[in-house]
Amino acid sequence: MATLYRAASPDSLIVVPVDLLTAIYHRASSQTHLMASPAPEILQALAGVPLDAAALLAKLRADYDLVDADPGALIARLDELVETGLVERR
């Protein structure tokens, strides 16, 4: 079975777009993250809805008109987000 990914619940995050980067405060860890696209978009897509990487890619492609979506790069970004504690694998 494919790995599912789930983001921290939206009410545990404060998300403030600063410029090209987005500042995110994670209440559970008291940590501040400064993130570039597509990390904030991934967090939004996974908010409350566990998805596997293929379904997430399809959702991002539909929501953001991605033309050169790369599954390998998406897995790398997901791994980074898991490292931060903002996304969990299930």
Partner 1 sequence: MRHHFSVAIGPVGFRVGSDWRGPVAALEQLYASYPKPQDGIADFTVRLFADRPWRRVFRPKVMIGGDFVLPEAAPLSLEHGLLAAEMAMNLQMALGQRRYLLLHASAVERDGKALVMTGLSGAGKSTLAALLMTRGWRLMGDEFALLDPATGLIHAFPRLISLKNEAIQVMQEAAPDGMFGPLLADTPKGAIRHLVPDARSIAAMLEPARPALILFPTFGHAAVTREVAASEVFVRLTQASTNYVALAERGFAALTRLVTETSARAIDYPDTQSAIAQVEALWRAL
Binding site for partner 1 (CB under 8 A): 14, 16, 18-21, 23, 25, 27, 30, 32, 34
Query: Nearer Cβ to partner 1, position 25 or 52?
Result: 25
- Listed in sequence order, the residues at least 6 apart from 74 whose beta carbon sits closer than 8 Å to its beta carbon are 38, 42, 53, 56, 57, 60
CB of 65 to partner 1, least distance (A): 25
Query: Nearer Cβ to partner 1, position 14 or 73?
Result: 14
CB of 33 to partner 1, least distance (A): 10
Amino acid at 40: P
Query: Which of 22, 3, 26 is closest to 13 using CA atoms?
Result: 26
**DSSP secondary structure code for residue 47 in this structure:** B
Query: Nearer Cβ to partner 1, position 11 or 68?
Result: 11
